[in-house]
Chains A and B, each alone.
Chain A
Amino acid sequence: EVQLLESGGGLVQPGGSLRLSCAASGFSFRSYAVSWVRQAPGKGLEWVSAISAGGGGTYYADSVKGRFTISRDISKNTLYLQMNSLRAGDTAVYYCARYPYQLLDHFDFWGQGTLVTVSS
Protein backbone atom coordinates (compact mmCIF):
# COMPACT_ATOMS: atom_id res chain seq x y z
CA GLU A 1 0.00 0.00 0.00
CA VAL A 2 1.36 3.38 -1.03
CA GLN A 3 1.78 5.68 1.95
CA LEU A 4 3.10 9.20 2.33
CA LEU A 5 3.49 10.51 5.86
CA GLU A 6 4.37 14.16 6.45
CA SER A 7 5.92 15.51 9.62
CA GLY A 8 7.77 18.55 10.89
CA GLY A 9 4.98 21.11 10.92
CA GLY A 10 4.39 23.46 13.80
CA LEU A 11 4.35 27.06 14.97
CA VAL A 12 7.21 29.28 13.82
CA GLN A 13 7.80 33.00 14.01
CA PRO A 14 7.97 35.19 10.90
CA GLY A 15 11.45 35.05 9.46
CA GLY A 16 12.07 31.64 10.96
CA SER A 17 12.83 28.28 9.39
CA LEU A 18 11.29 24.85 9.38
CA ARG A 19 12.04 21.56 7.65
CA LEU A 20 9.22 19.28 6.59
CA SER A 21 9.67 15.58 5.94
CA CYS A 22 7.58 13.10 3.98
CA ALA A 23 8.27 9.41 4.58
CA ALA A 24 7.31 7.23 1.64
CA SER A 25 6.49 3.52 1.77
CA GLY A 26 4.79 0.85 -0.29
CA PHE A 27 6.46 1.77 -3.58
CA SER A 28 9.87 2.30 -5.14
CA PHE A 29 10.50 5.86 -3.97
CA ARG A 30 13.57 6.26 -6.19
CA SER A 31 11.44 5.74 -9.31
CA TYR A 32 8.93 8.54 -8.84
CA ALA A 33 8.93 12.31 -8.96
CA VAL A 34 7.27 13.87 -5.93
CA SER A 35 5.96 17.25 -4.92
CA TRP A 36 4.75 19.54 -2.17
CA VAL A 37 1.32 21.17 -2.37
CA ARG A 38 -0.08 23.48 0.28
CA GLN A 39 -3.50 24.69 1.35
CA ALA A 40 -3.98 27.80 3.46
CA PRO A 41 -6.82 27.61 6.00
CA GLY A 42 -10.14 27.78 4.17
CA LYS A 43 -8.41 28.30 0.82
CA GLY A 44 -7.62 26.29 -2.28
CA LEU A 45 -4.68 24.14 -3.29
CA GLU A 46 -1.37 25.73 -4.28
CA TRP A 47 1.49 23.82 -5.89
CA VAL A 48 4.73 24.62 -4.07
CA SER A 49 7.62 22.56 -5.42
CA ALA A 50 8.55 19.34 -7.22
CA ILE A 51 11.60 17.15 -7.61
CA SER A 52 12.44 14.60 -10.26
CA ALA A 53 12.88 10.91 -9.53
CA GLY A 54 16.65 11.19 -9.59
CA GLY A 55 16.69 14.45 -7.68
CA GLY A 56 18.49 16.34 -10.42
CA GLY A 57 15.53 18.48 -11.39
CA THR A 58 13.80 20.83 -8.97
CA TYR A 59 10.95 23.23 -9.59
CA TYR A 60 9.37 25.96 -7.46
CA ALA A 61 6.37 28.24 -7.43
CA ASP A 62 7.32 31.90 -7.71
CA SER A 63 5.87 32.49 -4.25
CA VAL A 64 8.54 30.33 -2.59
CA LYS A 65 11.47 30.54 -5.00
CA GLY A 66 14.66 31.50 -3.20
CA ARG A 67 13.20 30.69 0.23
CA PHE A 68 12.26 27.01 0.01
CA THR A 69 14.44 24.08 -1.01
CA ILE A 70 13.14 20.65 -1.97
CA SER A 71 15.33 17.57 -1.66
CA ARG A 72 15.09 13.81 -1.30
CA ASP A 73 17.07 11.06 0.40
CA ILE A 74 16.69 7.81 -1.54
CA SER A 75 18.34 5.79 1.24
CA LYS A 76 15.70 6.96 3.70
CA ASN A 77 12.76 7.02 1.27
CA THR A 78 12.12 10.55 2.44
CA LEU A 79 11.22 13.85 0.77
CA TYR A 80 12.10 17.14 2.43
CA LEU A 81 11.13 20.78 2.21
CA GLN A 82 13.46 23.27 3.84
CA MET A 83 11.53 26.48 4.44
CA ASN A 84 13.42 29.68 5.29
CA SER A 85 12.37 33.30 5.73
CA LEU A 86 8.86 32.19 6.55
CA ARG A 87 5.98 34.64 6.23
CA ALA A 88 2.43 34.70 7.53
CA GLY A 89 1.28 33.86 4.01
CA ASP A 90 3.10 30.51 4.22
CA THR A 91 0.65 29.33 6.89
CA ALA A 92 -0.97 26.23 5.44
CA VAL A 93 -1.34 22.50 5.52
CA TYR A 94 1.53 21.08 3.47
CA TYR A 95 0.89 17.87 1.54
CA CYS A 96 3.40 15.69 -0.22
CA ALA A 97 2.12 13.96 -3.33
CA ARG A 98 3.41 11.51 -5.92
CA TYR A 99 3.51 11.88 -9.69
CA PRO A 100 2.67 8.43 -11.10
CA TYR A 101 3.92 9.00 -14.62
CA GLN A 102 5.90 12.13 -15.27
CA LEU A 103 7.05 15.18 -13.42
CA LEU A 104 4.55 18.05 -13.25
CA ASP A 105 1.68 15.87 -14.47
CA HIS A 106 -1.06 14.67 -12.08
CA PHE A 107 -0.83 13.31 -8.53
CA ASP A 108 -2.12 9.83 -7.71
CA PHE A 109 -1.35 9.61 -3.99
CA TRP A 110 -1.30 12.28 -1.30
CA GLY A 111 -0.22 12.30 2.31
CA GLN A 112 -2.49 13.54 5.08
CA GLY A 113 -0.62 16.81 5.46
CA THR A 114 1.22 18.69 8.18
CA LEU A 115 0.18 22.12 9.43
CA VAL A 116 2.63 25.00 9.38
CA THR A 117 1.63 28.14 11.26
CA VAL A 118 3.73 31.28 10.88
CA SER A 119 2.85 33.72 13.60
CA SER A 120 4.43 35.82 16.33
Chain B
Amino acid sequence: QSVLTQPPSVSGPPGQRVTISCTGSSSNIGAGYDVHWYQQLPGTAPKLLIYGNNNRPSGVPDRFSGSKSGTSASLAITGLQAEDEADYYCQSYDSSLSGSVFGGGTKLTVL
Protein backbone atom coordinates (compact mmCIF):
# COMPACT_ATOMS: atom_id res chain seq x y z
CA GLN B 1 0.00 0.00 0.00
CA SER B 2 1.53 3.27 -1.14
CA VAL B 3 1.92 6.32 1.10
CA LEU B 4 0.52 8.50 -1.66
CA THR B 5 -2.82 7.43 -3.12
CA GLN B 6 -3.58 7.62 -6.83
CA PRO B 7 -6.53 6.22 -8.81
CA PRO B 8 -5.49 2.96 -10.53
CA SER B 9 -6.74 4.14 -13.90
CA VAL B 10 -8.16 7.05 -15.85
CA SER B 11 -9.22 7.30 -19.47
CA GLY B 12 -10.45 9.72 -22.07
CA PRO B 13 -10.81 10.19 -25.82
CA PRO B 14 -8.27 12.14 -27.86
CA GLY B 15 -8.50 15.86 -27.32
CA GLN B 16 -10.11 15.63 -23.91
CA ARG B 17 -8.76 16.83 -20.55
CA VAL B 18 -8.05 14.36 -17.77
CA THR B 19 -6.77 14.79 -14.24
CA ILE B 20 -4.92 12.39 -11.97
CA SER B 21 -5.09 12.95 -8.24
CA CYS B 22 -2.44 12.21 -5.62
CA THR B 23 -3.56 12.21 -2.00
CA GLY B 24 -1.12 12.26 0.87
CA SER B 25 -1.12 13.23 4.53
CA SER B 26 0.24 15.70 7.06
CA SER B 27 3.69 14.09 6.97
CA ASN B 28 4.24 14.56 3.24
CA ILE B 29 2.16 16.74 0.91
CA GLY B 30 0.27 18.35 3.78
CA ALA B 31 3.54 19.27 5.46
CA GLY B 32 4.41 21.44 2.49
CA TYR B 33 6.76 19.14 0.66
CA ASP B 34 6.80 19.44 -3.11
CA VAL B 35 5.05 16.98 -5.39
CA HIS B 36 6.62 15.71 -8.59
CA TRP B 37 5.17 13.69 -11.45
CA TYR B 38 6.67 11.08 -13.77
CA GLN B 39 5.49 9.44 -16.95
CA GLN B 40 6.46 5.85 -17.64
CA LEU B 41 5.87 4.44 -21.10
CA PRO B 42 5.68 0.63 -21.37
CA GLY B 43 9.07 -1.00 -20.99
CA THR B 44 10.94 2.22 -20.32
CA ALA B 45 12.34 4.12 -17.36
CA PRO B 46 10.26 6.87 -15.74
CA LYS B 47 10.59 10.36 -17.17
CA LEU B 48 10.23 13.57 -15.16
CA LEU B 49 7.07 15.40 -16.18
CA ILE B 50 6.44 17.99 -13.44
CA TYR B 51 8.68 19.05 -10.56
CA GLY B 52 8.11 21.36 -7.65
CA ASN B 53 4.32 21.01 -7.91
CA ASN B 54 3.87 22.90 -11.17
CA ASN B 55 7.14 23.25 -13.07
CA ARG B 56 7.79 21.59 -16.42
CA PRO B 57 11.27 20.51 -17.47
CA SER B 58 12.32 21.73 -20.88
CA GLY B 59 10.81 19.59 -23.61
CA VAL B 60 7.63 18.69 -21.74
CA PRO B 61 4.58 20.07 -23.59
CA ASP B 62 2.47 22.69 -21.85
CA ARG B 63 -0.47 20.29 -22.15
CA PHE B 64 0.85 18.88 -18.88
CA SER B 65 0.35 20.89 -15.69
CA GLY B 66 0.46 20.28 -11.97
CA SER B 67 -1.18 21.76 -8.92
CA LYS B 68 -1.18 21.21 -5.18
CA SER B 69 -3.58 22.08 -2.39
CA GLY B 70 -3.61 20.91 1.20
CA THR B 71 -2.78 17.22 1.37
CA SER B 72 -3.40 16.58 -2.33
CA ALA B 73 -1.94 17.28 -5.73
CA SER B 74 -3.17 16.84 -9.28
CA LEU B 75 -1.74 16.32 -12.73
CA ALA B 76 -3.81 17.66 -15.60
CA ILE B 77 -3.37 16.65 -19.22
CA THR B 78 -5.21 18.64 -21.85
CA GLY B 79 -5.63 17.84 -25.53
CA LEU B 80 -5.15 14.13 -24.86
CA GLN B 81 -3.06 12.32 -27.47
CA ALA B 82 -2.50 8.63 -28.15
CA GLU B 83 1.16 9.02 -27.17
CA ASP B 84 0.10 10.07 -23.67
CA GLU B 85 -0.99 6.51 -22.92
CA ALA B 86 1.32 5.53 -20.07
CA ASP B 87 1.60 5.07 -16.31
CA TYR B 88 1.87 8.22 -14.21
CA TYR B 89 3.39 8.46 -10.74
CA CYS B 90 3.44 11.20 -8.14
CA GLN B 91 6.33 11.54 -5.69
CA SER B 92 7.06 13.56 -2.57
CA TYR B 93 9.05 13.44 0.65
CA ASP B 94 7.70 11.99 3.87
CA SER B 95 9.08 13.29 7.16
CA SER B 96 7.84 10.31 9.18
CA LEU B 97 9.67 7.90 6.90
CA SER B 98 12.62 10.22 6.25
CA GLY B 99 12.60 9.29 2.60
CA SER B 100 11.05 9.74 -0.79
CA VAL B 101 7.61 8.26 -1.37
CA PHE B 102 5.67 7.43 -4.54
CA GLY B 103 2.05 7.02 -5.39
CA GLY B 104 0.88 3.63 -6.59
CA GLY B 105 0.65 4.83 -10.16
CA THR B 106 -2.21 5.60 -12.55
CA LYS B 107 -2.63 3.97 -15.94
CA LEU B 108 -3.89 6.43 -18.53
CA THR B 109 -5.79 4.93 -21.44
CA VAL B 110 -6.57 7.03 -24.50
CA LEU B 111 -9.81 5.67 -25.88
Give A residues with C-beta under 8 Å from B: 35, 37, 44-47, 50, 59-62, 95, 104-108, 110-113
Q: Report yes or no: B48 in contact with A104, Cβ–Cβ below 8 A.
A: no
CB distance from B108 to the nearest CB of A (A): 14
Q: Report yes or no: A59 in contact with B102, Cβ–Cβ below 8 A.
A: no
Q: Report yes or no: A106 in contact with B91, Cβ–Cβ below 8 A.
A: yes
Q: Report yes or no: A44 in contact with B89, Cβ–Cβ below 8 A.
A: yes
CA distance A62 to B2 in the complex (A): 13
Assess whether B51 is interfacial by the CB under 8 Å rule: yes
CA distance A47 to B38 in the complex (A): 14
CA distance A93 to B4 in the complex (A): 21
The chain B residue sitting closest to A59, CB to CB, is: B99
Q: Report yes or no: B36 in contact with A110, Cβ–Cβ below 8 A.
A: no
Contacts of A37 in B (CB 8 A): 46, 100, 102
Contacts of B98 in A (CB 8 A): 59
Give B residues with C-beta under 8 Å from A: 2, 34, 36, 38, 40, 44-48, 51-52, 57, 87, 89, 91, 93, 97-105
Contacts of A110 in B (CB 8 A): 45-47
Residue from A47, A105, A108, A113 in contact with B45 in the complex, judged by beta carbons closer than 8 Å: A113
CA distance A47 to B93 in the complex (A): 10
> In the complex where A44-B103, A104-B99 touch, is A112 in contact with B45 (Cβ < 8 A)?
yes
Q: Report yes or no: A106 in contact with B102, Cβ–Cβ below 8 A.
A: no
CB distance from A2 to the nearest CB of B (A): 12
Which of B2, B47, B91, B99 is most buried by chain A, counting CB atoms within 10 A of its CB? B99
CB distance from B75 to the nearest CB of A (A): 14
Q: Report yes or no: A47 in contact with B101, Cβ–Cβ below 8 A.
A: yes
Residue from B34, B40, B44 in contact with A106 in the complex, judged by beta carbons closer than 8 Å: B34
Q: Report yes or no: B89 in contact with A108, Cβ–Cβ below 8 A.
A: no
CA distance A37 to B40 in the complex (A): 14
CB distance from A108 to the nearest CB of B (A): 5
